[in-house]
Copies of this chain bind each other. A is one copy, B any other.
Amino acid sequence: MESLLKNKKADKLDLILKEAAKLFKDKGFGGTSMRDLAEKVGMEAPSLYYHIGSKDEILEKICFDVACTYLSHLEELELSNEPYLDKMKSLIRLHVRMMISNGPEVSVTNHDWKYLSKEKLVEFKELRRLYENRLTTLIEAGIDAEELAPVNATVAVFTLLSSLRWIEYWWKPQRGISAKELENSIITILLNGIEKN
Residues of A bordering B, CB below 8 Å: 26-31, 85, 88, 111-112, 114-115, 139, 146-152, 154-156, 158-167, 169-171, 175, 177, 181-182, 185-186, 188-197
| CB <8 Å contact, A158 and B166 | yes
14 A-B residue pairs with Cβ-Cβ distance under 8 Å, sorted by A, are A28-B114, A29-B30, A30-B31, A148-B196, A150-B196, A151-B194, A154-B175, A155-B185, A155-B189, A158-B167, A158-B170, A162-B163, A191-B193, A192-B192
Residues in B with CB closer than 8 Å to A185 are: 151-152, 155-156
Q: Which of B147, B161, B195 contacts A149 (CB 8 A)?
A: B195
| CB <8 Å contact, A114 and B27 | yes
Residues in B with CB closer than 8 Å to A196 are: 146-150
| CB <8 Å contact, A154 and B166 | no
Interface class of chain A by DSSP: helix
Give Cα distance in the complex from A162 to B166, angstroms. 6
Q: Which of B28, B150, B155, B161 contacts A186 (CB 8 A)?
A: B155
Copy number of this protein in the oligomer?
2
* Known contacts A159-B163, A166-B165, A197-B197; is-contact A189 B28 (Cβ 8 Å): no
Give Cα distance in the complex from A185 to B114, angstroms. 28
Q: Which of B111, B163, B191 contacts A195 (CB 8 A)?
A: B191
Residues in B with CB closer than 8 Å to A29 are: 28, 30-31
Give Cα distance in the complex from A139 to B150, angstroms. 26
Q: Most B CB atoms within 10 A — which of A149, A163, A181?
A: A163
Give Cα distance in the complex from A104 to B54, angstroms. 30
